[in-house]
Chain A
Amino acid sequence: RKEVEQDPGPFNVPEGATVAFNCTYSNSASQSFFWYRQDCRKEPKLLMSVYSSGNEDGRFTAQLNRASQYISLLIRDSKLSDSATYLCVVTRGGGGNKLTFGTGTQLKVEL
């Protein structure tokens, strides 16, 4: 079993739709949580950090449930430019804080 699990998708949604991605992690010692965005043939880029209290950045809302070891990302009013792969990422802290990535969930926003 992978340490970080995601539904690979693809999720095909119309422009303007609300879409939610989920992720589970297996290591209860995980300390920090992130969503990264990766466009085709590009490097991963940090989208947002994820906190237990939930956090919002414009159309994006992230939530962490430590008890269930579950992370979510909600995108409202999706745009064509949101089409990308969304990577769920955790760290265990210490040792440089290496990132452990999920497989990624592919989103395609269509007209």
Chain B
Amino acid sequence: GAGVSQSPRYKVAKRGQDVALRCDPISGHVSLFWYQQALGQGPEFLTYFQNEAQLDKSGLPSDRFFAERPEGSVSTLKIQRTQQEDSAVYLCASSPGVDQPQHFGDGTRLSIL
């Protein structure tokens, strides 16, 4: 099925390295969201795109986090100079438009050593 696809599924990096996480939303979905889920917690909002425009980045924890969606489809979440506290599952969700249900990908499990 053509659900939300995220890659890689698992990523291990050393502290200080840069990482890039990819999200392929459902085709035609206008809205795209990134969430961060720490162990034992619910997902927390990071950022939101409507097409290629990043309309809300209020949840990004620091300026080390950067997201883009240049052509309004695939999105990349980049984390620079990773820290141990960045270890979490990063979830991507897409929806056909505002006020429509969000469909989640399987997530990328990031471990920083």
Residues of B within 8 A of A98 (CB): 33, 45, 48, 56, 59
A87 touches B42 (CB 8 A): yes
Contact of A97 with B99 at beta-carbon distance under 8 Å, contacts A42-B106, A43-B107, A45-B104 already known: yes
Residues of A within 8 A of B50 (CB): 96
A95 touches B101 (CB 8 A): no
- Interface residues of chain A, those whose CB is within 8 Å of chain B, are 4, 8, 32, 42-46, 87, 93, 95-104
A99 touches B102 (CB 8 A): yes
B104 touches A100 (CB 8 A): no
B48 touches A96 (CB 8 A): yes
Chain B 1-41: CB-based contact to A (< 8 A → 1; otherwise 0):
00000000000000000000000000000010101000011
Residues of A within 8 A of B101 (CB): 46
Residues of B within 8 A of A100 (CB): 45
Residues of B within 8 A of A44 (CB): 43, 91, 104
CA distance A44 to B35 in the complex (A): 11
- Interface residues of chain B, those whose CB is within 8 Å of chain A, are 31, 33, 35, 40-45, 48, 50, 55-56, 59, 91, 93, 95, 98-99, 101-102, 104-107
A-B contact pairs, 17 of them (CB 8 A): A8-B40, A32-B99, A43-B105, A44-B91, A46-B102, A87-B42, A95-B48, A95-B55, A97-B102, A98-B33, A98-B56, A99-B43, A101-B35, A101-B44, A102-B42, A103-B41, A103-B42
- CB nearest neighbor in A for B100: A97
Contact of A99 with B45 at beta-carbon distance under 8 Å, contacts A43-B91, A43-B107, A45-B104 already known: yes
CA distance A42 to B101 in the complex (A): 18
- CB nearest neighbor in A for B46: A98
CA distance A9 to B31 in the complex (A): 33
- CB nearest neighbor in A for B6: A43
- CB nearest neighbor in B for A103: B42
Of the candidates A87, A96, A97, the one having the most CB atoms from chain B within 10 angstroms of its own CB is A96
CA distance A98 to B91 in the complex (A): 13
- Besides A87-B43, A98-B33, 13 other CB < 8 A contacts? A43-B105, A43-B107, A44-B104, A87-B42, A96-B50, A96-B98, A97-B95, A98-B56, A99-B93, A100-B45, A101-B44, A103-B41, A104-B41
